Amino acid sequence: MSAQTELRSWVESANGHPDFPLANLPLGVFSLDGDAPRGGVAIGDYIFDLAAACDAGLFADAALEAARSAAASSLNAFFARGASARLALRTGLYELLGEHSAQRTRLQAMGEMLLKPMNQCQLHLPARVGDYTDFYVGIHHANNVGKLFRPDNPLLPNYKYVPIGYHGRASTIDVSGAPVRRPNGQTLPAGASEPVFGASKRLDYELELGIWIGPGNARGEAIPIGEAAAHVAGFCLLNDWSARDLQAWEYQPLGPFLSKSFATSVSPWVVLPEALAPFRCAQPPRPAGDPQPLPYLFDERDQQLGALDIELEVLLLTEAMRAQGLPAQRIALSSTQNMYWTVAQMVAHHSVNGCSLQPGDLFGSGTLSGPSADSCGSLLEVTEGGKRALELPSGETRTFLEDGDEIILKARCRREGYPSIGFGECRGRVLPASAAAAR
Amino acid sequence: MSAQTELRSWVESANGHPDFPLANLPLGVFSLDGDAPRGGVAIGDYIFDLAAACDAGLFADAALEAARSAAASSLNAFFARGASARLALRTGLYELLGEHSAQRTRLQAMGEMLLKPMNQCQLHLPARVGDYTDFYVGIHHANNVGKLFRPDNPLLPNYKYVPIGYHGRASTIDVSGAPVRRPNGQTLPAGASEPVFGASKRLDYELELGIWIGPGNARGEAIPIGEAAAHVAGFCLLNDWSARDLQAWEYQPLGPFLSKSFATSVSPWVVLPEALAPFRCAQPPRPAGDPQPLPYLFDERDQQLGALDIELEVLLLTEAMRAQGLPAQRIALSSTQNMYWTVAQMVAHHSVNGCSLQPGDLFGSGTLSGPSADSCGSLLEVTEGGKRALELPSGETRTFLEDGDEIILKARCRREGYPSIGFGECRGRVLPASAAAAR
């Protein structure tokens, strides 16, 4: 442990960096000055250019193979290679970037050939998303939302047996920073018997953990729970933007559709399972009276070590706050410990019917609210369905998002004896609805 | 009209062919003897090899460009080119394949270089599916299924305002002929308070029209209803296999998931909108008292000519019927006139929130049942939720599908004064559930 605490890099900005110290080394896809998007690794304030490193002969053998596939314009092929490629790449990167690297002088001389200043780079979606599945494993969120509809019986009978999920829209997944246009659609005004068409008035965010899928399974072959972790390629933050008024009117009987498909944002950096290993923990015990998971969803090791201890944060920055020079305001602090099901349980469930998971598939965890008012992962919960306005330091209030509002998700892992790591940000700013369609 | 009726091909098997006369010319992707999959055109009992035709210099100018893109291993690029490419290709094909083709002698001499016997070819999925959306526009199906749950109030209040749809799973879309493995999953036995795990006991099919999407829209730019037809690249048959017992237990509150994601089958031939032009018709008038569509869903021309008159058929062939030498038994005869919403309305609705549609996206119409018992597009409806067994000529009965059962969907267009065309078949045979997972 102490060895890891002391791991320092000759890239000075990495040491003590809140997100990207040497212990993290997340992968992403970047470009600079409009050149071709390619894979890179976040280290402090820089992006380590994997293609440049390969070309310069900095890697050999398995690390070179892994780095070549991670240097591509999307990480799908790298995801497909699984844990051995990740380990080979990380070992190679530690050797190159550690404080006592044998090649330090040569690498420093390469300067920006090798290390691109992150703030000058554009970050892209790290992989082509095949299928996107959004789960609903945040039990406090399910409870809070259920209470708005069914005060006496918030959780449906299947919730504690089934890791509930649904298919989402892959074509509208954006990387952090892409603006989010307020959607138009049908809504049923309170008390009305006929819907109206127009811009959503109840635009919301959802704080989620994103899970990138690795090798995946052949069609018809379920992934056993004990092998599920091997099919996870990495993690990110995910904002499942939601138009609550469209959702309330459209979602019966087949689930959310246009209320979600206008935009989903993910953070650009894929935090690898190896970087998160120190932050694994036991799945919190189920409350007394809850059923045990069915055998296909139960694995002793997964129960002991399959959960994650990641601190999650939502911040809001409005136009007025920007004008007044105020910083973004934290509106929720939550944790991945609010997941009723582990990621391995989600993988095992998704494939148990023979459905094939593929490299580059993306899962959302569902909104990860905590049990308290200051840990709610959506405005729907914070404002109790729009009934209690949220007060902001600018003197404004919010029930749902206004045009110009920016939502910033962050995540951090801390544990005594280990260097902290972070996920970077998942940002999105609300643009006004399209006037053409709003007529 | 009469000119078209008389359109004959020198490919003799095309003349009077139930599916693929010269008037149809659907596109697909095929391979022969394990060679590389490539685009072809169905003509009678043959597949016209587009790559071979291009290489032989049979096309020029716009027809050549179109044929080159349709000759690829998937039709996505061709779909992206829209109506002008389809017209150029069809014109070129008419010239080559018509009875009085100037090149007839040369083409006949090319023999199987150009025309591959269809029964020796393997057919593939015609395009890479980006996103798959399943709609629910078959109003009799919605009524029939709704009655099983809510006898007094079968249709939910949104049905006549919203073309209801949900996201489906793209990774498990198969071409006709691929077997369908019975899924395992959780179900809640009647009267039980806890679910059990095992093979689905209520496996069903759904008779649907499939719609392949063409050019598509930029993110944030809704497709106006008047332009929606330009974004449809073609049509096929679609079987939305469904495990009713998994569905009943899992679908609240976010919609169907594992009960559908194990398999979706499509017919291999993409019937182009131009081939269907003679079979366009007016949208049947809405019953008295039904609301008019909201303006974004209403277009006069679409109401007059945007519906389709396609006869749809479901056949069942069991192991016992096969053993007794019996032919497949027709169990439903329905029509695309049972769609409450047109395809253009589905396209306009899907994109109205700014969601981008892309070439190769696939829509399912939803189950297209008719109003009568012999026109039901699923066993759930035929057997009223499993209560009335279907009797078969083999002496067997069915409430839901048994292992070895094969479902065959067919479609035919007929209109006085026009040559009939067909869609070919969408077949799938049920394999037993995987024993490993069934434990």
Beta carbons of B195 and A162 less than 8 Å apart: yes
For the record, the structure tokens of B121 come out as 């070819």
Beta carbons of A357 and B434 less than 8 Å apart: no
CA end-to-end span of chain B? 61
Per the annotation, does A252 bind a ligand?
A: no
Portion 11-50 of A in contact with B at CB < 8 A:
none
Identify the weakest region by mean pLDDT among A56-65, B146-155, B230-239, B372-381. Answer: B146-155
Mean pLDDT, chain B, as a whole number?
Answer: 96
For residues A105-119, give the mean pLDDT.
Answer: 97
User: Residue B3: pLDDT above 70?
Assistant: no
| Alpha helices (runs of H) in A56-194, residue ranges in sequence order | 61-70, 76-97, 104-110, 139-149
For residues B204-212, give the mean pLDDT.
Answer: 98
Quick check: B189 contacting A, CB < 8 Å?
A: no
* Residue A141 appears among annotated catalytic residues: yes
Q: What share of chain B is helix, strand, coil (3-state, %, to 5)?
A: 30, 30, 45
Burial A262-291 (b: 16+ CB within 10 A, else e): bbbbbbbbbbbbbbbebbebebeeeeeeee
Per the annotation, does A367 bind a ligand?
A: yes
Domain with CATH 3.90.850.10 in chain B: 132-438
Beta carbons of B436 and A252 less than 8 Å apart: no
Quick check: B252 contacting A, CB < 8 Å?
A: yes
CA-to-CA separations, A378 to A216, A313, A362, in angstroms, rounded: 31, 11, 21
Given pLDDT bands bounded at 50, 70 and 90, which one contains residue B153? confident
Other CB atoms within 10 A of residue A28 CB: 26
Portion 324-363 of A in contact with B at CB < 8 A:
349-350, 352-358, 361
Other CB atoms within 10 A of residue B173 CB: 21
- For B35-86, the pLDDT digits (tens) are 999 999 999 999 999 999 999 999 999 999 999 999 999 999 999 999 999 9
- 8-state DSSP, B303: H
User: Residue A5: pLDDT above 60?
Assistant: no
In Å, how far is A321's CA from the nearest CA of chain B?
27
- For A418-436, the pLDDT digits (tens) are 999 999 999 999 999 998 6
Cβ-based burial of B101 (10 A; exposed 0-12, middle 13-18, buried ≥19): middle
Instruction: Tell me the pairing of strands A132-135 and A362-364.
Output: parallel
Residue type, A214: G
Given pLDDT bands bounded at 50, 70 and 90, which one contains residue A439? very low
CA-to-CA separations, A412 to A130, A276, A277, A426, B195, in angstroms, rounded: 28, 10, 14, 13, 37
The predicted structure's pLDDT at residue B6? 60
- What are all long-range contacts of B322-328, with beta carbons under 8 Å and residues at least 24 apart? B324/B394, B326/B393, B326/B394, B328/B406, B328/B408
- Pairwise CA distance, residues B93 & B97, whole Å: 6
Q: Which of A281, A266, A260, A207 is nearest to A234 (CA)?
A: A266
Quick check: A100 contacting B, CB < 8 Å?
A: no
The predicted structure's pLDDT at residue A6? 61
CA-to-CA separations, A44 to A9, A17, A110, in angstroms, rounded: 9, 6, 17
For residues A231-258, give the mean pLDDT.
Answer: 97
Beta carbons of A258 and B437 less than 8 Å apart: no
Beta carbons of A354 and B434 less than 8 Å apart: yes
- The one catalytic residue among B141, B231, B349, B350: B141
Beta carbons of A181 and B354 less than 8 Å apart: yes
The predicted structure's pLDDT at residue A438? 40
- For A187-231, the pLDDT digits (tens) are 999 999 999 999 999 999 999 999 999 999 999 999 999 999 999
Beta carbons of A220 and B164 less than 8 Å apart: no
- For A122-137, the pLDDT digits (tens) are 999 999 999 999 999 9
- Pairwise CA distance, residues A83 & A88, whole Å: 9
Instruction: Tell me the pairing of strands B418-431 and B196-199.
Output: unpaired
Report chain B residues whose CB lies below 8 A from the CB of A219: 172
Indicate the CATH number for domain A132-438.
3.90.850.10
User: Residue A174: pLDDT above 90?
Assistant: yes
For the record, the structure tokens of A34 come out as 């409009």
Quick check: A67 contacting B, CB < 8 Å?
A: no
In Å, how far is A220's CA from the nearest CA of chain B?
7
For residues A26-54, give the mean pLDDT.
Answer: 97
Cβ(A41)–Cβ(A6) below 8 Å: no
Closest residue, chain A, to B252 (C-alpha): A156
The predicted structure's pLDDT at residue B375? 98
Report chain A residues whose CB lies below 8 A from the CB of B346: none
Beta carbons of B353 and A291 less than 8 Å apart: no
- Pairwise CA distance, residues A243 & A232, whole Å: 30
Report chain B residues whose CB lies below 8 A from the CB of A432: none
For residues B369-393, give the mean pLDDT.
Answer: 96
- For B326-376, the pLDDT digits (tens) are 999 999 999 999 999 999 999 999 999 999 999 999 999 999 999 999 999
- Pairwise CA distance, residues A361 & B170, whole Å: 11
- 8-state DSSP, A201: S
In Å, how far is B162's CA from the nearest CA of chain A?
7
User: Residue B438: pLDDT above 90?
Assistant: no
- Pairwise CA distance, residues B47 & B28, whole Å: 9
Residue A51 host element (H or E):
helix A50-55
Instruction: Tell me the pairing of strands A280-281 and A242-243.
Output: unpaired
Nearest CB partner across the interface for A255, out of B186, B188, B255: B255
For residues A167-176, give the mean pLDDT.
Answer: 98
Closest residue, chain B, to A262 (C-alpha): B355
User: Residue B243: pLDDT above 90?
Assistant: yes
3-class state of residue A72 by DSSP: coil
3-class state of residue A248 by DSSP: helix
Q: Is the peptide bond before A253 cis (omega within 30 degrees of 0)?
A: yes
Report chain B residues whose CB lies below 8 A from the CB of A184: 222, 352-354
User: Residue A2: pLDDT above 50?
Assistant: no
Report chain A residues whose CB lies below 8 A from the CB of B186: 158, 161-162, 294
The β-bridge partners of B363 are: B133, B211
Cβ-based burial of A152 (10 A; exposed 0-12, middle 13-18, buried ≥19): exposed
In Å, how far is B424's CA from the nearest CA of chain A?
26
More confident residue, A232 or A3: A232
Neighbour order of strands in the sheet with B406-415: B180-181, B418-431, B406-415, B311-317, B329-335
- Pairwise CA distance, residues A367 & A146, whole Å: 13
User: Residue A377: pLDDT above 70?
Assistant: yes
For residues A72-79, give the mean pLDDT.
Answer: 98
Q: Is the peptide bond before A393 cis (omega within 30 degrees of 0)?
A: no
**Percentage of the residues of chain A whose pLDDT score is greater than 90:** 95
Other CB atoms within 10 A of residue B439 CB: 9
Beta carbons of A354 and B164 less than 8 Å apart: no
Report the helix count and the strand count for chain A, using DSSP H and E.
14, 25
Quick check: B80 contacting A, CB < 8 Å?
A: no
Domain with CATH 2.30.30.230 in chain B: 2-124
Per the annotation, does A247 bind a ligand?
A: yes
Q: Which of A311, A312, A329 is nearest to A320 (CA)?
A: A329
Out of 3.20.20.105, 2.30.30.230, 1.10.1040.10, 3.40.50.150, which CATH number does the structure's domain A2-124 have? 2.30.30.230
Q: How many residues does chain A have?
A: 439
- For B119-140, the pLDDT digits (tens) are 999 999 999 999 999 999 999 9
Residue type, A346: M
In Å, how far is A163's CA from the nearest CA of chain B?
9
Chains A, B: CB contacts within 8 A come to 192
- Pairwise CA distance, residues B137 & B165, whole Å: 8
Beta carbons of A243 and B353 less than 8 Å apart: yes
- For B268-311, the pLDDT digits (tens) are 999 999 999 999 999 999 999 999 999 999 999 999 999 999 99
Q: Which of B157, B308, B302, B303 is nearest to B237 (CA)?
A: B308
The predicted structure's pLDDT at residue B4? 46
The predicted structure's pLDDT at residue A436? 60
